[in-house]
Structure 1
């Protein structure tokens, strides 16, 4: 139908309305007709013949009247008649048996939940937007179904190679045995051979530790991840050893952002900018040799006041120098855990409204939904991926080319 014909039809229909109430009654009738026609079509498909068709004779099943059903949608409540079959084997998809909300409402509930709203806040929002009364208990039941998706997602097979793997965690407050404790949400973010980000899994544990990270890495390997070229991690003690246990050929790059952040913890504001600028001279050096020289210069200036900074950089030096094997544009790919830090930011936004989670499952649901929302934007390869992959192909040979 052409635009002119559509406009003429709209003008004709609009001319029939005398008031806003007439228009609302008309749209409500259209919605009722849509849902009832959809269900009738599904029943036709289930039975294998249309209503009143002679093809239905002797098939062993037939229509068996209709049931009154009230559904809630984005447009309010609607009373419809749902068709039945005699054998009771008809399972409609558009609006399932015992379903009282359309998919649009469920999607809105999950979206608001992912943004960190409480069940009571969501109930109030849905009522305000759509004039639909939904209890917090019902909202909990909707979000509980997410756990099925979480379990399937957490067990899905992985690619055999992720050239880069970022590992990090964030801390949430969760109620446990009538007290509130800190628990760590472990996140593993991979960059696949095409340069796209994929969150490989999330795990919840009471504390962050290298031992638990080892169990995470073991799980990743069991799910098919056989090789990682470079792992970008924070400065947790024992982390490099945990990675080497499962992926002995993987290069370790400690996150520069974490190193700088930890270095500045005890630096007062009067020296903050100067110390930051001198540290930048170290990690932005052109070569490892130049970086070592800059670190010695830093120590000469600042060791008298902040000796722990250069001591920490010297102690972690073997796992800080992987970036110096690459040109500047590739360093930005592996230089920091910015990729996972941005993901952490999304998670924090969704959890900051909840000072305390009532249980582990509640925390996992919110984090998972926030991640799914964020991943919708991961449609392009990460920046400078093509030159990085070309360099990896030359450096790592068949470890990369076997997957191209």
Structure 2
């Protein structure tokens, strides 16, 4: 049978007629890709060693528009022929895997992702397939968490966030976060860890891990008010410690009667004068002692404000230049990061296991490191960290 020969106008008319059908574009793609692969095999066999020949086809699915393409991959007897288009399809598959993980990391459920991939690509990915995709990328996230660190970070923020996680049953578990300011004044998440509860003993393990990965020195730790965390840090690093002033205020107000709260708030603001450029630790201690004299008969727990040693952990920020005090007297920076974690996790009532939480938190941290935290902190210069 002679080969049918059509001119350009006839070919265009045939293509127009085919693509006008509901699934015509996908049919055209199938025919074009299959024909290209078949022609590539013919050219390959003509240039190949003698004894090799065509050996049928194998069926695979490719990405179409709204539905999958049915493709026929040509084979040769020796198994050496690999169509160039396979690399393109492999890249598509990798891209789909990355898309699934990005969507999952942004908070979509596996069911949401299944629906999106079916609608856009015509590629039906089951819940188990999507779960396997996310698991396959967990190794990269683990490498991120275990990567070597710089030897020096000017400031390190430490905090824990809690996520409902399933072990034998679902419960809120602690995920420990370390956020560092780098010498170039950008920020970077340098540690993500898990333990069932927050404790100073596990923070000890965190310190050991940071050191084993290369961290040797920091000038300042900014932490919450967890008992004995300060002594844990001092055991591992020669660094100043700033405890969160906002956490202190909340803990005091939680034990104050409602009718006294406004007055106590005013007095606490009088102690911690963040807008006072000329403030010193001595002046702060004097004000604190005056406030204690006013309230201690009603609230004995406020007596500790008059203890110079205890209060020193909350006034370390006064050893720093005025321009950076607002960013180091609280753990607000790392709490903002925790809010980003919560946004990713909030759609899910609970996570199936610890590794899934660590993987998602790592992905959020990588995104923050590569975008938000790449911008240097304004007005913050290494030369004037300390007075």
Which interval holds the TM-score relative to the shorter structure? 0.7 to 0.9
Cross-structure match for 2:109 = 118
Residue 129 of structure 1 deviates from its aligned partner by: 5.3
In our comparison, the structure showing a higher alpha carbon Rg is 2
Moved more, 179-188 or 351-360: 351-360
Q: Does 1:109 align with 2:100?
A: yes
Tell me, yes or no, if the aligned pair for 2:145 and 2:362 is still in contact at 8 Å. Answer: no
| Mapping for residues 112-151 of structure 1, pairs under 5 Å | 112-127=103-118, 132-151=123-142
Residue 157 of structure 1 deviates from its aligned partner by: 0.9
| Mapping for residues 57-206 of structure 1, pairs under 5 Å | 57=49, 67-72=58-63, 75-82=66-73, 86-87=78-79, 94-96=88-90, 102-127=93-118, 132-177=123-168, 179-206=169-196
Cross-structure match for 1:258 = 247
The equivalent position to 1:295 in structure 2, one of 268, 273, 288, is: 288
Tell me how far apart the structure 1 counterparts of residues 121 and 303 of structure 2 sit (CA, whole Å): 59
Tell me how far apart the structure 1 counterparts of residues 115 and 258 of structure 2 sit (CA, whole Å): 44
| Mapping for residues 5-404 of structure 1, pairs under 5 Å | 21=20, 25-26=24-25, 29=28, 51=44, 54=47, 56-57=48-49, 67-72=58-63, 75-82=66-73, 86-87=78-79, 94-96=88-90, 102-127=93-118, 132-177=123-168, 179-247=169-237, 249-267=238-256, 270-283=259-272, 284=274, 285=276, 286-311=279-304, 314=307, 316-375=310-369, 376-385=371-380, 387=381, 389-392=382-385
Tell me, yes or no, if the aligned pair for 1:163 and 1:192 is still in contact at 8 Å. Answer: yes
Tell me how far apart the structure 1 counterparts of residues 54 and 268 of structure 2 sit (CA, whole Å): 77
In the alignment of these two chains, the number of paired residues is 364
Q: What is the root-mean-square deviation of aligned Cα atoms in Å?
A: 3.6
Tell me how far apart the structure 2 counterparts of residues 168 and 316 of structure 1 sit (CA, whole Å): 20
Residue 380 of structure 1 deviates from its aligned partner by: 0.5
Query: Where do 5+ consecutive residues of structure 2 fail to align?
Result: 1-11
SS in 2 for 1:266: coil
Query: Where do 5+ consecutive residues of structure 1 fail to align?
Result: 1-12, 45-49, 396-404
The 3 A distance-change label for structure 1 pair 353 and 74 is farther
The TM-score with structure 2 as length reference comes to 0.80
